Structure 1
């Protein structure tokens, strides 16, 4: 079924601030790159333009990834989770995804568990 942009956005459950978490993942390696916030307009721009746009809570403005850094994210796909409150956006990442200059915001292992749990048999 080919739904309109507005019909797709209407399926999203935005939080009380009007935002939804967007997890950004490299489309071919499945590497998790970053997380950002989107409101309905940022999501609309992302889906229509094919470039990831976020809502900056600290600056109170939209920012399209890569416009100032050159490290753009080109949308390959977007999915809504089962609760409708998280979006997974698969992208072709150009350059670093993290504002620190690293490929991913999840390079740190500071929360690595002490012991790995085994799945039940």
Structure 2
């Protein structure tokens, strides 16, 4: 796989998949991975313009402004790409401390224990109180 070509303009340097998507990992400033989603050119452009994370919702088939319903926005602190230019890493400030729709700090709260997935992180706020 070819390395990212830094001489190319922003969008052309990235490797978009056949659907025009690129994986995006959201990581807080302390280094904890809180979320994974996809972005397309439009969502990346809006993210850059507004300073908050905007993703492409594959299930809703539309832009998803993280926090639009919950109030748990992700303020962008920095954006990096890997050496191939096919994954984005967003360093974010997670407003309200909740990134997951389950009311947890991170979507990565299930841990493999033996042959079972066990939720190991606490629910910070009941989702019924978030999404009314």
TM range (shorter): 0.7 to 0.9
In structure 2, runs of 5+ residues without a counterpart are: 1-5, 116-132
Alignment partner of 1:52 is 2:53: yes
Distance 1:112 1:67, change over 3 A: farther
| Cα root mean square deviation, aligned | 1.9
* Residue aligned with 2:9, SS: helix
1:1-121 matched pairs, under 5 angstroms: 7-27=9-29, 29-95=30-96, 96-110=98-112
**Displacement after TM superposition at 1:98 (Å):** 0.8
Post-superposition Cα deviations, 1:27-46, rounded to whole Å, max 9, x if no partner, equal: 2x111000000001101111
**Displacement after TM superposition at 1:56 (Å):** 0.5
Paired residue total:
108
TM value normalised by structure 2: 0.76
- Contact 1:36-1:54 at 8 Å conserved across structures: yes
Post-superposition Cα deviations, 1:2-54, rounded to whole Å, max 9, x if no partner, equal: x9xx9212211010111000000002x11100000000110111112110000
- Contact 1:21-1:35 at 8 Å conserved across structures: yes
Q: Which segments of structure 1 move beyond 4 Å, counting only runs of 4 or more?
A: none
